[in-house]
């Protein structure tokens, strides 16, 4: 079936599901409520917006409190084991609620559902879950929802892969003024610790004209900032029938009238081109922030991780970015405790932290993911040793970020106002181009607009400023 036919079919299912929900709403004398809970990354969050868009169209009221909902759907993540444990925790709590209210429906989707062992557990231990699907057939959510609403048995539908990209189904955005956009799906890199390529499938890029069209529609609907999403945006477009590079895509997106800011995530260091740096340096819209996951600073560990760059080439890249775009923030991800990692390897990681001067770094303890090459290794490390090394890395990362924060004090910057400050309602909170937060006096009328701010003071990881009158 072509993508357009598939899209039409799903719209028909939305209408059919809407009929059922309308009847139930009438019987109950109120609207059915549903809650979508996101466990994963930005791509997972974007998928949740797609689920929510369909649920709204079908006639559900969307609410945040999952305990009040008639239908709860968990969009799961499995990148580290603690993400899985959280989902089982929620399911455990739901068990007694389902006993009291057999009408309560529960759905599970996302990356964790692509693991056969998880499906086995749900089949045997969590029979009260109504609907289970994975990452490859999420575009069939309307159809699956319809099946769930017209049946009492557990529906499990998991696919191994897909080559379909279905466009133009309803989406419910969390923010009016900013949005994530998938530019590609899946990953081909197979870093040896990582489960993402197994649960998200092979890399597929969307056509540039579809991406531009989606952004134009978003802009017409009030969006001023977009975040282009992919596991490795730097390899965008290579496998399209008419190949195009990521930097060429950025140039196209830059041309969109009314769009003010462009962000992207994530950049794999092995594919970050000089072209991209040049396009960023010249651009008026691309934000000054690159998330550049390091994972490890040890060449031996990097090789065993299958990252395909070295400590030296990584630092050269950082240098190039700093020279071409001096005020660019660089952030990173680091894994501590990869099998066989020694304290000396961790010294190398700390050396890169010192030299790269990250604005921020997310540090993770290595989590063994079944099915990945690293999980099969015999030299898994002792937990206490890993914790010690982790603390060493974490404290260094925090010190460096603190030293680095402050370089904008005394400058004038533009902030996109996102919300009223949580602690003081005479202040608003905005995000700067480099992704730092700034708090300054303001009111709710500013939300969603770009405001010039004089940066007065740095406080830990955020700034205090004053809007320019």
- Contact positions toward ligand F3S, by CB under 6 A? 40-41, 43-44, 77-79, 110-111, 196, 199-200
Residue 194 near ligand SF4 by CB under 6 A = yes
Residue from 140, 204, 268, 396 binding ligand SAH (CB under 6 A): 268
Please give the Cα distance from 227 to 273 (Å, whole number).
19
Question: Residue 349's binding partner, choosing from ligand SAH, ligand F3S, ligand SF4, none, with beta-carbon cut-off 5 to 8 A by kind?
Answer: none
Residue 335 near ligand SAH by CB under 6 A = yes
Question: Residue 367's binding partner, choosing from ligand F3S, ligand SF4, ligand SAH, none, with beta-carbon cut-off 5 to 8 A by kind?
Answer: ligand SAH
Question: Residue 413's binding partner, choosing from ligand SF4, ligand F3S, ligand SAH, none, with beta-carbon cut-off 5 to 8 A by kind?
Answer: none
CB 112 within 8 A of CB 84: yes
Question: Residue 94's binding partner, choosing from ligand SAH, ligand F3S, ligand SF4, none, with beta-carbon cut-off 5 to 8 A by kind?
Answer: none
The distance of closest approach from Cβ of residue 398 to ligand SAH in the complex, given in angstroms and rounded to an integer, is 17
Residue 182 near ligand SAH by CB under 6 A = no
DSSP 258: T
Please give the Cα distance from 279 to 104 (Å, whole number).
51
Residue from 44, 245, 266, 434 binding ligand SAH (CB under 6 A): 266
Select from 2-10, 145-153, 193-201, 217-225 the region that touches ligand SF4 (CB under 6 A).
193-201
Nearest to ligand SAH of 211, 294 (CB atom): 294
Residue from 31, 56, 80, 238 binding ligand SAH (CB under 6 A): 80
The distance of closest approach from Cβ of residue 115 to ligand SAH in the complex, given in angstroms and rounded to an integer, is 13
Percent of the chain that is helix, strand, coil (3-state, to 5): 40, 20, 35
The distance of closest approach from Cβ of residue 10 to ligand SF4 in the complex, given in angstroms and rounded to an integer, is 27
B/e letters for 4-38, b = 16+ CB within 10 Å, e = fewer, are: eebeeebeebbeebbebbeebeeeeeeebbbbbbb
The distance of closest approach from Cβ of residue 42 to ligand F3S in the complex, given in angstroms and rounded to an integer, is 8
Nearest to ligand F3S of 83, 211 (CB atom): 83
Please give the Cα distance from 259 to 247 (Å, whole number).
17
Residue from 191, 229, 302, 415 binding ligand SF4 (CB under 6 A): 191
Residue 190 near ligand SF4 by CB under 6 A = yes
Residue spans of beta strands (DSSP E) within 325-384: 329-336, 360-365
CB 9 within 8 A of CB 143: yes
- Those residues whose C-beta lies under 8 Å from the C-beta of residue 104, and which sit 6 or more positions away, are 69, 70, 71, 72, 94, 97, 98
Tell me how far CA of residue 376 lies from CA of 341, 369, 370, in angstroms.
Answer: 15, 9, 8
- Those residues whose C-beta lies under 8 Å from the C-beta of residue 368, and which sit 6 or more positions away, are 81, 374, 375, 380
Residue 139: closest CA among 8, 1, 7 = 7
Residue 192 near ligand SF4 by CB under 6 A = no
Degrees to nearest 5, angle at CA 185 with 179 and 191: 115
Residue 78 near ligand SF4 by CB under 6 A = no
What torsion do the CA atoms of 169, 57, 67, 78 make, to the nearest 10 degrees? -10
Q: Please list every residue from 186 through 215 that binds ligand SAH, using CB under 6 A.
A: 193-194, 196
Question: Residue 333's binding partner, choosing from ligand F3S, ligand SF4, ligand SAH, none, with beta-carbon cut-off 5 to 8 A by kind?
Answer: ligand SAH
The distance of closest approach from Cβ of residue 29 to ligand F3S in the complex, given in angstroms and rounded to an integer, is 38
Residue 454 Rama label (left phi>0; alpha psi -120 to 50; beta): beta
Residue 114 near ligand SF4 by CB under 6 A = no
Binding stretches for ligand SAH (CB under 6 A)? 79-80, 193-194, 196, 231-232, 266, 268, 293, 295, 333, 335, 364, 366-367, 369
Binding stretches for ligand SF4 (CB under 6 A)? 187, 189-191, 194, 196-197, 231-232, 268
């Amino acid at each position: 079936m072509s993508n357009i036919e598939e899209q039409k079919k799903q719209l028909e299912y939305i209408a059919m599901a809407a009929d059922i929900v309308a009847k139930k709403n009438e019987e109950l004398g109120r609207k059915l409520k549903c809650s979508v809970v996101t466990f994963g990354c930005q791509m997972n969050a974007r998928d949740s917006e797609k689920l929510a868009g369909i649920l709204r169209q079908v006639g559900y009221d969307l609410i945040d409190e999952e305990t009040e909902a008639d239908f709860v759907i968990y969009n799961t993540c499995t990148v580290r084991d603690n993400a899985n444990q959280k989902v089982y925790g929620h399911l455990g709590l739901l068990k007694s609620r389902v006993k009291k209210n057999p009408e309560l429906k529960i759905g599970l989707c996302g990356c964790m559902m692509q693991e056969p062992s998880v499906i086995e557990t749900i089949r045997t231990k969590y029979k009260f879950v109504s609907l289970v699907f994975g990452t490859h057939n999420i575009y069939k959510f309307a159809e699956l929802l319809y099946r769930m609403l017209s049946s009492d048995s557990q529906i499990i539908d998991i696919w191994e892969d897909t080559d379909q990209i279905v466009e133009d189904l309803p989406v419910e955005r969390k923010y009016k003024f900013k949005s994530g956009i998938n530019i590609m799906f899946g990953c081909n890199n197979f870093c040896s610790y990582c489960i993402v390529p197994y649960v998200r499938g092979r890399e597929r890029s969307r056509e540039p004209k579809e991406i531009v069209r989606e952004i134009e529609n978003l802009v017409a609907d009030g969006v001023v900032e977009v975040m282009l999403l992919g596991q490795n945006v730097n390899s965008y477009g290579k496998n399209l029938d008419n190949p195009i590079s990521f930097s060429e895509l950025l140039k196209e997106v830059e041309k969109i009238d009314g769009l003010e800011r462009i962000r992207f995530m994530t950049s794999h260091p092995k594919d970050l081109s000089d072209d991209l740096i040049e396009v960023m340096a010249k651009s008026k819209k691309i934000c000054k922030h690159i998330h550049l996951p390091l994972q490890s600073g040890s060449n031996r560990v990097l090789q065993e991780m299958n990252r395909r760059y070295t400590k030296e080439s990584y630092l050269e890249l950082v240098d190039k970015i700093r020279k071409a775009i001096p005020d660019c923030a660089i952030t990173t991800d680091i894994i501590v405790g990869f099998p066989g990692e020694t304290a000396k390897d961790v010294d190398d990681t700390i050396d890169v932290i010192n030299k790269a001067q990250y604005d921020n770094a997310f540090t993770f303890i290595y989590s063994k993911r079944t099915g990945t090459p690293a999980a099969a290794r015999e030299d898994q490390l002792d937990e206490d040793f890993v914790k010690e090394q982790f603390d060493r890395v974490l404290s260094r990362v925090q010190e460096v970020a603190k030293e680095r924060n402050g370089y904008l004090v005394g400058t004038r910057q533009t902030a996109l106002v996102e919300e009223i400050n949580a602690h003081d309602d005479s202040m608003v909170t905005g995000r700067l181009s480099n992704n730092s937060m700034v708090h300054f006096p303001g009111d709710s009328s500013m939300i969603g607009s770009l405001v010039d701010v004089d940066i007065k003071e740095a406080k830990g990881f955020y700034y205090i400023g004053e809007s320019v009158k």
